[in-house]
Amino acid sequence: MLNVVLVEPEIPNNTGNIGRLCVGTESRLHLIHPFGFVINDKNLKRSGLDYWVHLDVTEYQNADEWMKQIPDQSRVFLMSSHAEKSYLETEFQDGDWLVFGKESVGLSKEFLARFDNHLTIPMSPLIRSFNIANSVAFVVGEAKRQIGLKL
């Protein structure tokens, strides 16, 4: 099972969409506070539809609390538009942690400094980034392809 981590998510529709993706791919969702919305926000529920009740989700008050749950920090992959290595060049394993930053600014330099594995999603120079829900779908899809999508 993959672990999808959203650090300080700001937009409820994105989090709801990612939650739905996690249910569909049997991935766990980890949410690190603070959020830009209330977890019972109607937009979160709308984009997660009725799947939210099936979601394996854990909330953490801060990154330090979340980090205590990680058995092997070498299997944590931070997504950043500033990284050199593409997620397509990475060999994913069951249980990996795929970490995404807040929609407006991504992961902070301080957060990025905590781990060595920084990955990017190749994109046209005409854009700065992809929508976070799309980014999660790209990376989870590739990781599931490699591991073997056994649902």
ω into 34 cis (within 30 of 0):
yes
Dihedral angle sign, alpha carbons of residues 65, 66, 70, 74: negative
Please tell me whether 101 is known to bind a ligand.
yes
Please tell me whether 36 is known to bind a ligand.
no
Structure-block tokens of residue 59: 């909330």
CA distances from 127 to 15, 57, 121, 122, 133 (A): 22, 31, 12, 11, 16
> Which residues are annotated binding-site positions for S-adenosyl-L-methionine?
79, 101, 121, 129
> Which residues are annotated binding-site positions?
79, 101, 121, 129
